[in-house]
């Protein structure tokens, strides 16, 4: 594939920039061969030619990140930070603007855990497996909140508002205090970290005056070189229910029942309701069920559900904490679920000291990768891409949204992997649109399908919480109050902090003046 240069940068200028990056990190940590560019590209892309990285540079410290930012300013090279780059379905290692150099922080792996206070101060290269191993090796009784693909970085996941399934499942809300390199190369600590040497950096989020942590989440205003995360103390007991409900319309009462328990605080985890395909595509492939292209027929869906004992929807609900407390709340949960007349309801129980079964790890802080098996649903070159609108915790509205989306799945001949992840007051309707990259006719339908979903959601007042590089402009465009006042604010801040526009141009639909013409391309 030909090298794509960012607008306005000549091959000679780029060569000078790469040499300057090499003087910062050492020539062995600059990656700019054809093979390197392939490595940093997005394997789940709909269009393999879009979002082409120009190469990568891998710093080992915050000081090196600062030096990289200064080189980028001097040579006008756009750069794109990644922690571990496992943001699959949203762009992974690839940048929004082709020709951008990836700043790969996977070498930065320092871990400091404050056992007493239940916090960790982490560098971006620390993966969920690294932190888990550290906790295990040091016998630290703190649990992680792991996402379905735990390959990635703890900080990277929180920076794209990824979710897990425990009471600490809204990972971005567990961030506390950051160290950030700004686009001009300055370095700042947020919250109590601004008070040099403070022992409360990871304990109180706000410091004094405005609090900035979320400003560096899903933005292109800075590169996070360290962040604090709160970790959950290992509970005495985890007690729960695995519930399956039979019909599509059973989604509504299930959401209403869980939402009420969640708001009341009986249920403190972030449970996710998933459909039959979310369960079936990690243990089987499509060819085992049919060789017909297009939407799956109801007969096939019934056969899949029967084989694995699945409802249309399933959910794993868990209560965490003292034995006496979870034993007291369990009957309340059980009664609420029994009232729904579920297809099945299986109790689960784990007590401190018991081994954690591999399939239960997600609810108990153990990293996992098996859900990624879904990328193999069609066989061959697969993948998935996200469509994830935020909804109210209303069974009626969520069911209506699902029915509209399902009609689109059928219209475009796609198989629906869909789920509803509970926050405290909202639902994230995560759709992993499964890809068959070996079928060009199929791949042609993916983009219009996703654009239809975005437009349908917008028509009902719903916007996505996170999106793939391809759709950042489209999704940002749906946030349109007062003729896109939010975009104007974001870009005012962007241009003030990053006048040369070097940091992640186009991320989250935020384009610096230097690349304003690239919007929508
Ligand atoms: P993970 O490996 O956890 O999946 P990624 O490295 O893929 O995380 O990053 C997820 C998203 O967050 C990407 O859009 C990336 O640009 C952004 N990001 C990751 N790390 C940083 C960081 N240290 N500072 C700023 N943004 C980051």
Residue 515 has pLDDT above 90, yes or no: yes
Q: Is 317 helix (H, G, I), strand (E, B) or coil?
A: strand
Q: Do residue 334 and residue 298 come from a single domain? A: yes
Share of the chain above pLDDT 90, in %: 97
Same domain, 346 and 461: yes
When divided into structural domains, the chain yields a total of 4
Ligand 1 atom closest to 154 (CA): 3
Cβ of 506 less than 6 Å from ligand 1: no
Distances (CA, A) of 29 to 22, 41, 59, 126, 182: 7, 17, 7, 18, 22
C-alpha to C-alpha distances, 357 to 12, 321, 368, nearest whole angstrom: 56, 19, 12
pLDDT at 8: 87
Q: Tell me, in angstroms, the distance from the centre of ligand 1 to residue 105's CA.
A: 9
| 394 and 289, same domain (yes or no) | yes
What's the pLDDT score for residue 2? Answer: 79
Residues 491 and 356 in one domain: no
Q: Show which residues are catalytic.
A: 90, 465-466
Q: What is the CATH number of the domain that holds 258?
A: 3.40.462.10
The whole domain housing 298 covers: 237-471
- Burial letters for 110-133: b for 16+ Cβ neighbours within 10 Å, e otherwise? ebebbeeebbbbbbbbbbbbbbbe
Domain CATH number, residue 193:
3.30.465.10
84 lines ligand 1 (CB under 6 A): yes
Which ranges of 26-108 would DSSP assign to H, the alpha helix? 34-39, 62-75
Instruction: Out of 41, 81, 223, 227, give the residue to mutate to test ligand 1, the one with the largest number of ligand atoms within 8 Å of its CB.
Output: 81
Q: How confident is the model at residue 148 (pLDDT cuts 50, 70, 90)?
A: confident
280 and 403 in a common domain? yes
Q: Are residues 209 and 247 in the same domain?
A: no
Q: Would you say 231 and 168 are in contact if contact means Cβ atoms under 8 Å apart?
A: yes
Q: Report strand pairing: 175-181 vs 100-104.
A: unpaired
Supply the DSSP symbol for 239: E
Nearest CA to ligand 1 atom 14: 160
Q: Does the residue 2 lie in any domain?
A: no
Reading the block at residue 200, the tokens are: 């409360």
52 & 137 share domain: no
Q: What is the CATH number of the domain that holds 91?
A: 3.30.43.10
Q: Does residue 6 lie within any of the structural domains? A: no
Cα(169)–Cα(158) distance, integer angstroms: 10
Position 3 confidence tier, pLDDT thresholds 50, 70, 90:
confident
pLDDT in tens, 408-429: 999 999 999 999 999 999 999 9
DSSP state string for 299-352: HHHHHHHHHHT--SEEEEEEEEE-HHHHHHHHHHHHHHHHTT--SEEEEEEEET
216 and 126 share one domain? yes
**Domain assignment present for 3:** no
Report if residue 314 sits inside a domain: yes
Whether residue 121 sits in one domain with residue 16? no
Alpha carbons 449 and 447: distance in angstroms, whole number: 5
Q: Is the dihedral of CA 363, 364, 367, 373 positive or negative?
A: negative
Residue among 274, 261, 272, 271 nearest 330 (CA): 261
- Determine, yes or no, domain membership for 502: yes
Instruction: With respect to residue 444, please indicate whether it lies within any of the assigned structural domains.
Output: yes
**Is 260 part of any domain?**
yes
9-34 burial, b at 16+ Cβ within 10 Å, e below that, comes to beeeebeebbebbbebbeeebbbbee
Q: Is the same domain home to 198 and 283?
A: no
Which candidate, 125, 77, 131, places its Cα nearest to that of 104?
A: 125
Q: Would you say residue 5 lies in a domain?
A: no
What number is the average pLDDT over the span 229-234? 98
- Residue of 66, 83, 507 to mutate, ligand 1, most atoms within 8 A of C-beta: 83
Q: How far apart are CA 11 and CA 474, in angstroms?
A: 31
- All residues at 6 or more sequence positions from 216 whose CB lies less than 8 Å from its CB, including other chains: 159, 178, 180, 190, 222, 224
Same domain flag for 229 and 241 = no
Statement: residue 65 has pLDDT above 90: yes
Confidence of residue 149 (pLDDT cuts 50, 70, 90): confident
Write the CB contacts of 279 (distance below 8 Å, at least 6 apart in sequence).
308, 310, 314
CATH number for 513? 1.10.45.10
pLDDT of residue 1 exceeding 80: no
Q: Identify whether residues 440 and 297 lie together within a single domain.
A: yes
């Amino acid at each position: 594939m030909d090298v794509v240069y960012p607008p306005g940068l000549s091959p000679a200028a780029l060569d000078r920039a790469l040499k300057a990056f090499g003087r910062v990190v050492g020539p062995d940590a600059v990656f700019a061969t054809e093979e390197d560019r392939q490595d940093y590209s997005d394997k789940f892309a709909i269009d393999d030619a879009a979002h082409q990285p120009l190469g990568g540079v891998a710093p080992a410290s915050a000081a090196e990140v600062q030096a990289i930012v200064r080189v980028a300013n001097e040579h006008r090279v756009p750069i794109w930070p990644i922690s571990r780059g496992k943001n699959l379905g949203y762009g992974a290692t690839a940048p929004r603007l082709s020709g951008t150099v990836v700043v790969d922080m996977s070498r930065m792996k320092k871990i400091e855990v404050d056992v007493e206070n239940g916090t960790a101060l982490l560098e971006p290269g620390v993966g969920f497996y690294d932190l888990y191993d550290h906790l295990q090796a040091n016998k630290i009784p703190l649990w992680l909140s792991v996402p379905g693909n735990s390959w990635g970085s703890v900080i990277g996941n929180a920076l794209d508002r990824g979710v897990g399934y425990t009471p600490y499942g809204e990972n971005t809300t567990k961030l506390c205090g950051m160290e950030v390199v700004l686009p001009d190369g300055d370095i700042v600590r947020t919250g109590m970290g601004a008070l040099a040497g403070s022992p409360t950096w990871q304990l109180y989020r706000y410091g004094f005056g405005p609090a900035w942590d979320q400003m560096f989440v899903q933005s292109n205003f800075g590169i996070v070189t360290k962040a604090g995360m709160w970790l959950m103390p290992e509970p005495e007991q985890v007690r729960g229910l695995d519930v399956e409900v039979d019909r599509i319309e059973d989604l509504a009462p299930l959401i209403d029942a869980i939402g009420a328990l969640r708001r009341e605080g009986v249920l403190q985890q972030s449970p996710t309701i998933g459909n039959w395909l979310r369960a079936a595509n990690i243990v089987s492939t499509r060819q085992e069920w049919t060789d017909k292209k297009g939407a799956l027929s109801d007969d096939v869906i019934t056969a899949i559900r029967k084989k694995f004992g699945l409802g249309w929807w399933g959910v794993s609900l868990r209560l965490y904490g003292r034995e006496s407390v979870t034993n007291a709340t369990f009957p309340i949960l059980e009664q609420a679920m029994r009232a729904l007349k579920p297809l099945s309801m299986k109790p689960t129980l784990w007590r401190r000291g018991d081994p954690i079964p591999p399939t239960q790890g997600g609810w108990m802080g153990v990293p996992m990768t098996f859900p990624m098996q879904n990328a193999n649903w069609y066989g061959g070159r697969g993948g998935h891409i996200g469509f994830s609108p935020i909804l109210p915790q209303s069974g009626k509205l969520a069911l209506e949204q699902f029915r509209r989306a399902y009609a689109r799945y059928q219209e475009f001949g796609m198989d629906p992997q869909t789920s509803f992840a509970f926050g405290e007051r909202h639902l994230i309707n995560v759709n992993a649109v499964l890809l068959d990259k070996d079928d060009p006719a199929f791949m042609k339908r993916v983009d219009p399908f996703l654009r239809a979903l975005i437009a349908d959601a917008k028509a009902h007042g719903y916007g996505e919480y996170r999106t793939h590089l391809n759709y950042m402009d489209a999704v940002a465009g749906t946030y349109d109050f007062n003729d896109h006042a939010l975009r104007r604010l974001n870009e005012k801040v962007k241009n003030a902090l990053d006048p040369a526009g070097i940091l992640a141009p186009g991320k989250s639909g935020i384009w610096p003046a230097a690349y304003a013409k690239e919007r929508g391309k």
